[in-house]
Amino acid sequence: MTVMWITLIAYVLLMLGIGFYCRKKTSSVSDFVLGGRSIGPWMTAFAYGSSYFSAVVFIGYAGQFGWDYGISATWIGIGNALIGSMLAWIILGNRTRIMTKHLNVSTMPEFFEKRYFSKGLKIASALIVFVFLIPYTASVYNGLSRLFEQAFHIDYSVCIIAMAVLTAAYVILGGYKATAINDFIQGIIMLFGIAAVVICTVENKGGLTNALLGLGAVPDVNGNTNVFNSLFGPDPINLLGVVILTSLGTWGLPQMVQKFYAVKDTKSIRRGTVISTLFAVIISAGSYFLGGFGRLFATTESITSPETGKPVYDMIVPNMLNSAIPELLFGLVVVLVLSASMSTLSSLVLTSSSTLTIDMIKPFIKKEMTEKKQVFIMRIFIAVFIVLSVIIALNKNTYITTLMSISWGALAGAFLAPFMYGLFSKKITKASVWVSLITGVGITVISMLIFNLGFFPELTKAAAALPLNLASPINWGAIAMLAGLVLVPIVSLFTRNKKQVEIDKIFDCYKKEKA
């Protein structure tokens, strides 16, 4: 316990020290939100990866999907690496960097305004960002606090509040540059930490071969064995839904694609692609591989809450770690999860506060807002956003996976198609973007009302029994994204842009970059 406290305190002091150091170098909006667009490949790649993978993945998703799919949950991590990281960098990275710099935008809503010539799109997308990043942030606090409760025997609510204060402190102080430096350090901790955790967990069950044999001996709901150690697991159809949501979803998440805005040059994009992909292979595939052995460390009865009678999937990984990790390594594990979560939290709150300030507050103020005043308002909204997230996270009965799926489904469902197509095609219309925003949010909200809030229990039960579990917010999130990818080009075929000449000029930025 003493070692854990010393490790934790040293880590916190380091994070705060970086915040104070970067405060002196953060004077303008570009500095605060994008680090002056001068971030190199290593820091950008680590910022992307460590913002991607947090306690939500390590505690929530690895625990629940490892339990549901066994070792085949590793496919989720592989999908995250190849689709969510490598392809995202290759397809979106450089075009995003070039066009956002040409348009002089700092946020996703600003991009929609200047790319599609619509202030209405900016305001609507800013509202979507603010509202739906809150449950995602709450899910990170939820996962982080469960591990701290297990490790330090501190009350869950106290953990959440302490983490919120720490996040607010170093993001408010240093902005994106502090976040990027911290993400780099946190990424290194995550790489060593996940490797140590996976090795210890497998060795605890007699090595990889014995662990896989033990997992194969665990029966599924139908009494079949050799299911949870198989290549595609007990339910490959719904496993594919998880892969789509968690991998393709990053292409439309503002806190992820905004990392490309800040990259220095094309060479940094190429290097960042390789670094980010390798990082994702180790962290994400390692986390889901670890979670796949959850049934060797817990039973259905041991993870069932006596209060609700429902399984608490978010406790699976903390219990595994408590059983498999030597006491001296537990401090490293705590810092691993804290690192993963702090980087994600800082990215979320910075994205939300910058969006509110630049896209919603600034346009309605008649007097010109100085750079200093904008940064000050962003810092205020960071605090407001964190408080709202903490209020949601204090409800212990909400699953991490449910919170994150609702957030990702709405954001990626609304933004993925118009953002990606908008980088490549001059023919995408403003009307098609409105359709995508309405469809993405509509599908997520309607499915949540019907299946996740308990209003229609019989309908929820029937939907869950289908081959494609339609009671799952994860599958609805994947459906929302795919719907946008289909609808945006179709609607664009039947509508037209009133400012096609101006749009054609925007795409000249790619020619200038090559020249």
Q: Tens digit of pLDDT for each residue in 78-125?
A: 999 999 999 999 999 999 999 998 998 888 888 999 999 998 998 899
Q: Summarize the confidence of residues 302-321 as an average pLDDT.
A: 78
Q: Are 341 and 373 in contact (CB under 8 A)?
A: no
- The SS3 of residue 397 is coil
pLDDT at 74: 95
Rounded CA separation 158/488 (Å)? 45
Is residue 401 exposed (0-12), middle (13-18) or buried (19+ Cβ within 10 Å)? buried
Rounded CA separation 400/54 (Å)? 11
Does the pLDDT value for residue 53 go beyond 80?
no
Q: What sign does the CA torsion over 300, 302, 305, 309 have?
A: positive
450 falls in which pLDDT band (50, 70, 90)?
Answer: confident
Q: Are 477 and 442 in contact (CB under 8 A)?
A: no
Does the pLDDT value for residue 489 go beyond 90?
yes
Rounded CA separation 406/425 (Å)? 29
pTM to 2 decimals?
0.82
pLDDT at 256: 84
pLDDT at 85: 93
64 falls in which pLDDT band (50, 70, 90)?
Answer: confident
pLDDT at 514: 67
Long-range contacts of 444-453 (CB under 8 A, 24+ apart): 444/132, 444/406, 444/409, 444/410, 444/413, 444/473, 444/476, 444/477, 444/480, 445/410, 447/409, 447/473, 447/476, 448/406, 448/473, 448/476, 451/476, 452/402, 452/406
More confident residue, 165 or 420: 420
Phi/psi at 196 (nearest 5 deg)? Answer: -65, -40
**Residue 264 is encoded by which pair of tokens?**
């220095």
pLDDT at 46: 76
15 falls in which pLDDT band (50, 70, 90)?
Answer: confident
Torsion of CA 482, 486, 491, 492, to 10 degrees: 110
Does the pLDDT value for residue 157 go beyond 80?
no
pLDDT tens digits along 126-156: 889 888 887 777 777 776 666 667 666 777 6
| The most confident of 102-106, 399-403, 430-434, 468-472, by mean pLDDT | 430-434
Q: Summarize the confidence of residues 326-330 as an average pLDDT.
A: 69
Closest by alpha carbon to 139, among 463, 409, 377?
409
Does the pLDDT value for residue 193 go beyond 90?
no
Homologous superfamily (CATH) for 2-401:
Sodium/glucose cotransporter (1.20.1730.10)
- Residue 113 amino acid letter: E
pLDDT at 515: 52
Domain positions in the chain? 2-401
- Residue 359 amino acid letter: D
Q: Summarize the confidence of residues 181-203 as an average pLDDT.
A: 80
pLDDT at 384: 77
pLDDT at 23: 65
344 falls in which pLDDT band (50, 70, 90)?
Answer: low
Q: Summarize the confidence of residues 452-457 as an average pLDDT.
A: 74
More confident residue, 353 or 52: 52
pLDDT at 346: 67
- The SS3 of residue 263 is strand
| The most confident of 191-205, 359-373, 422-436, 497-511, by mean pLDDT | 422-436
More confident residue, 292 or 158: 292
- The secondary structure of 438-485, three-state, reads HHHHHHHHHHHHHHHCCCCHHHHHHHHCCCCCCCCHHHHHHHHHHHHH
pLDDT at 1: 64
In angstroms, what CA-CA distances link 168 with 38, 46, 55, 117, 254?
24, 21, 18, 34, 19
- The SS3 of residue 358 is helix
Closest by alpha carbon to 33, among 89, 99, 96, 105?
105
pLDDT at 512: 78
Do you know the residue count of the chain?
Answer: 515
Q: Summarize the confidence of residues 311-335 as an average pLDDT.
A: 75
Does the pLDDT value for residue 455 go beyond 80?
no
Does the pLDDT value for residue 30 go beyond 70?
no
274 falls in which pLDDT band (50, 70, 90)?
Answer: very high
Rounded CA separation 474/392 (Å)? 19
